[in-house]
Structure 1
Amino acid sequence: MLTKTQEQMNELLRELKLGCVLVEQKYDGTKCFRHYYLHKSEQFVTYRQTNRTLPSPIRYYINQIDEIRVGFKTRTFDRLIKHKLLRQDDEQCAFSIFSNNYRDEINLLANDEEIRNIWIEGLQYLIEIHSQIQQNYLTNETNWILNSFYSITKQRSDSLSKDECRQLLIDTFNTKVSDEDFERFFQKIDKNSLVSDEFLELFHSITLRHDLYKIMKKYANNTENQTIDSLYLTAEQLLEFLQKEQNQFVLKTRKNDSKCDFTLESINTNEQVKELIQQFESNDQMKENGHISLKGFRDLLLSDDFTLMKPWCSRFVYQDMTRPLNDYYINTSYNT
């Protein structure tokens, strides 16, 4: 298959967002004809529910899909073929989606091979994009927030009311926000409901780390003219912080993540710090200037290489764990 250009992939995703009728094949031979589509956020696939008395449509989140399998290669399809509930010729239209660590499975038939291939190619493209994105802490967090947002939107609604937003902040994110700050945000946008991007803005505005703001002010220049939103550190200032406060090491690993193939590298040059800024700063202008904002600073400190637990111990099995359990001492205490 020839590699598609980005424009062609965007067109393919637009087709998935319009959706089409696919037939879900159940293990007992039952067929469900549903209009499946990719949500405009590109976070999940779902279907239209015309009967409001039925449960809300199931959402198949892209970041939870384990495999897209082509053809009759599942137990369900095998059984349907064996009992002559499907024709062998239908295989060119068949595909299956496995998700949730292979615990969930859906077997589908498209109208023709071309439509099936559009779904397979589009979903595999999104899975690859999400797997690359998940290497970045920042986007991982965004996915987590958006998944929570979409999990409580009704049917195809793309917004949450003011009360629903507050409840989501309390129940899911355990986030405390004063009535004054909450109302001020809604007055600012002059609306009584929020779409996903607006909810992200609300979430970030009420979860600013004032403790990190104080730390940054110790190393930044001209802080009297900078607010919590405009404060930044240069590469030199960030390097000074990492050397004085963190005594920081960066874990370097190869792409295959071999547990024996890593080296520890101390941070002692501006070039190393600029690489960190490029990785964790989301503001393009800040990146271009070699600066890191409060949010980028927070994301850097919350990343794996900056955790209190030594990453070369927490990421890999570095001791002999092949012995029977009673050969080991368990480090415990009164509380644990």
Structure 2
Amino acid sequence: MRGRVDEKLPMDGEACVQAMMNETTMTKLRAGKKKFKRSYRLQKDRETIVYSPTRHSALPECTKRLPAEQAYDVSNILEVFLSTLTSRSSRVDREKAVGPSNCFSISYKDQTPTLDLICTNPETAQTWVRGIQHLIQSRTGETIVNKKERWISEFFHAADKNQNERLDLKEATGLLKRMNVPISSSHIKERFQEVDQNGNGDLDLEEFGQLYRQLTFRQEVEDLFNRVSSPGGTMTMQDLHRFLTQEQKVQADAETCKRIINTYEQIGDVKANDCLSLQGFTLYLESKDGDIYNHAHDQEYQDMTQPLSHYFIASSHNTYLLEDQLRGPSSKEGYIRALQKGSRFLELDCWDGEGGEPVIYHGHTLTSKVLFKEVIEAINDYAFKASPYPVFLSLENHCSVEQQRTMSAHMRRILGSQICTDSDTPDPSVLPSPHSLRGKIIIKNKKLPPDVLEDEVSDEDEAAEIEDPEVQARMQAEKEKRRKELEKKKKKIKLAKELSDLVNVSQAKHFHSFQHSQEKDMACNMSSITENKAMDLVKRQAADFINHTKRQLVKIYPAGGRVDSSNMDPHVFWAAGCQIVAMNYQTPCDQMDLNLGKFRQNGGCGYVLKPEVLRKDYLKIDTSGKIPDKYRKNLTVRVISSFQLPSPSEKSTSSADPYVKVQICGIPADCAEQRTEWKKNSGFHAVWNVAMTFPLALPELAMLRFEVKDHDSMTASDMLGQFALPVDSIQQGYRHVHLLDKRGGDISPASLFVYISLQAP
């Protein structure tokens, strides 16, 4: 059971945050029993935890010059929890804090390793845990007004070097440049003097916020406001209702209009008259209400009672890897991160380890190894934090019978009643639903015939398909043997009954052909097909592929040549009904953007109901060919402008030359791409007002992706921001696209302003 703060202690969250602003000495733990004394504190912006080394004679610190102060962003923290220092390894046990503890751990959204800290007493640990939790929780449900204030405060306090809570003209000018506000120094000085009401030559946070808002005027938003508002400078409730229903294509009544006015209008007199000013209208457009993504889809809204084969399932490939597939580290953190991002399908490549303990790693490579037992413990802790729906554990089993029994024993002991059993699936002829298997863990592996205690089974060895020359050279002695195994397509291993008994819903079976599966396979039989073979099947037999996946689960895994852990295009296989398209979650890329965008909907639960054409037996369709006209729609995307883009990396200038690439990914007929021209030195605010039209044959399967790049004629263009979402989750009208970085992190207030229309042709 994960450690929790003692609720009986009189520790207010805000008081803990204030206490964190005082320097606190803690010991940072690293692998190999290394300990480092550090001084930590929360900055006044409440966004950054900074730390600096300290000397301590009792610790094995080196005599080198101490490094400069470094920082962690609170926005990057995924979870913080009390933990326990184990005497066996002198490492924090992140899963077993019993009673008061002076240790705590911080896990991050990106690839930053988990931070393990030892405090001088339990009270300090609890103060930091509760304080960080309070900071994280305060972000939940915050309005666009709060978000903007927080963002401005973060920049303000970072620029306030002497910490006097004020900025002079030089400091304010430098800060505005770092914020990419392209205003001349003389213009800044003029506006600075206007907002410096006391005339003392510096600005406090409120005054600087006023200066920033004056300098970030957007003409295109004012033009829209003037067009949809009545004369007089404000938008009445009648104006707002007309705008919402006619332009934004949403259902709205007087109560809806009143809520928007009360939420976003900041001028008291205007709000009292049930109107919106330009400022309030702008805040509405920048808010969740004005987002391109339909935030109603942040909640579970789909039918979860259909067979598992009727859902796309968020799936991870080689989940244990944090980097590449040749030398990268294997870690249980790979499973934690994948589960936290919503993955419901995990891979475990299992091999015999020392001391009778099975290990997980990428066989025949130099990747490090992690104990099978530790991985199962991590899965037990995190399996159902992000979603209540079933988790698949796909076992690539290379273990001896003896260590297979150890694997079975560990899973039974650690996972217990969470393991899906035959009693959970009474009808073997039909796959159960995600709803019926909530809180269950499904073991995917080969299964012995009834009443067989132990026997040889074919091994679907994905790891054997590595195609890298360096690996082949290192394994020269095995080369001929491995080639013969691949030619035979079947390598025999002995399967222990204890492990076989854990398998029911997902019984691994070699794929021969669609006809063979229809005649011989049961619904619980699941095939794994390599990317290259699956691509060929999609091109030649898309209709048969779709028919097959209406009844059975299919897993598509990356080609062996992807030793850098690159990703395949998932939409190609989703279009053929394939439920499990295994992705390298550790690799940020365009394909991963699509995957995360796909599974953002339905509450991020990791299961997305397939369109009717991919699950109803009476509907026959070939997504590689002509689609009936009744499904067709035209998607129009008008890219109006961009706002507050981040600085391009590895450049001396802070101003980007941005352009926008708009992509549609879906069935082959729908895949398309268009882009704007690039705008020189317009990183803060570029205006295009360019319309693009995309005819969609099957919009239910289409994904829309925006990518903003910095034009560079000499080298590859830097990606400044991206966002992907299903066409079904689009809100029409004038919308903001709130951009994410390459790892899916928030980069507010960076955004695109667009107009969206989705209509029948």
State the TM-score, normalized to the length of structure 2: 0.34
Does residue 137 of structure 2 align to residue 128 of structure 1?
A: yes
Q: Which residue of 2 is the match for residue 249 of structure 1? A: 249
Q: Distance in 2 between matches of 1:71 and 1:82?
A: 15
1:81-104 CA-partner distances (Å, limit 9, x unpaired): 434589999982000112243524
Q: Distance in 1 between matches of 2:183 and 2:8?
A: 48
SS at match of 1:276: helix
1:200-211 maps to which residues of 2 (within 5 A)? 200-211=209-220
1:19 to partner: Cα distance: 4.1
SS at match of 2:191: helix
- Pick one of 245, 260, 270 that aligns with 1:276: 260
SS at match of 1:232: coil
Which segment drifts farther, 214-223 or 57-66? Answer: 214-223
Change (3 A) 1:56 1:300: farther
Residue type matched to 1:124 in 2? Q
SS at match of 1:101: coil
Does residue 80 of structure 2 align to residue 68 of structure 1?
A: yes
1:13 to partner: Cα distance: 2.8
Work out whether residues 169 and 201 of structure 2, in 8 Å CA contact, stay in contact via their aligned partners in 1.
yes
Q: Distance in 1 between matches of 2:260 and 2:191?
A: 32
Q: Distance in 2 between matches of 1:102 and 1:277?
A: 41
Which segment drifts farther, 214-223 or 175-184? Answer: 214-223
Aligned-residue CA RMSD in angstroms? 4.3
Higher helix share: 1
- The structure having more radius of gyration, on CA atoms, is 2
- Pick one of 9, 13, 18 that aligns with 2:22: 18
Q: Distance in 1 between matches of 2:264 and 2:9?
A: 29
Residue type matched to 1:27 in 2? A
1:105 to partner: Cα distance: 2.4
Unaligned runs of 5+ in 1: 224-230, 251-265
Change (3 A) 1:311 1:249: same
Q: Distance in 1 between matches of 2:75 and 2:138?
A: 9
Q: Distance in 2 between matches of 1:333 and 1:31?
A: 51
Does residue 182 of structure 2 align to residue 176 of structure 1?
A: yes
1:128 to partner: Cα distance: 0.8
Does residue 209 of structure 2 align to residue 166 of structure 1?
A: no
Q: Which residue of 1 is the match for residue 106 of structure 2? A: 97
Q: Distance in 2 between matches of 1:292 and 1:298?
A: 9
Q: Give the 4+ runs in structure 1 shifted more than 6 A.
A: 85-91, 312-320
1:70-91 CA-partner distances (Å, limit 9, x unpaired): 113xxxx66xx43458999998
1:152 to partner: Cα distance: 5.7
Q: Distance in 2 between matches of 1:285 and 1:123?
A: 38
SS at match of 2:217: coil
Work out whether residues 93 and 109 of structure 1, in 8 Å CA contact, stay in contact via their aligned partners in 2.
yes
SS at match of 1:233: coil
SS at match of 1:46: strand
1:285 to partner: Cα distance: 5.7
Does residue 82 of structure 2 align to residue 106 of structure 1?
A: no
Q: Distance in 1 between matches of 2:163 and 2:54?
A: 11
- Pick one of 299, 313, 326 that aligns with 2:283: 299
Q: Distance in 1 between matches of 2:18 and 2:147?
A: 24
1:108 to partner: Cα distance: 1.0
1:206 to partner: Cα distance: 0.6
SS at match of 2:31: coil
Between the two proteins, what is the percent identity of the paired residues? 20
1:310 to partner: Cα distance: 6.9
State the TM-score, normalized to the length of structure 1: 0.69
Q: Distance in 2 between matches of 1:19 and 1:222?
A: 56
SS at match of 2:276: strand
Q: Which residue of 2 is the match for residue 47 of structure 1? A: 51
Unaligned runs of 5+ in 2: 1-5, 56-64, 303-310, 313-570, 582-622, 625-666, 677-761
Work out whether residues 266 and 280 of structure 2, in 8 Å CA contact, stay in contact via their aligned partners in 1.
yes
Work out whether residues 63 and 131 of structure 1, in 8 Å CA contact, stay in contact via their aligned partners in 2.
no
- Pick one of 215, 223, 234 that aligns with 2:236: 234
Work out whether residues 280 and 300 of structure 1, in 8 Å CA contact, stay in contact via their aligned partners in 2.
yes
Work out whether residues 63 and 130 of structure 1, in 8 Å CA contact, stay in contact via their aligned partners in 2.
no
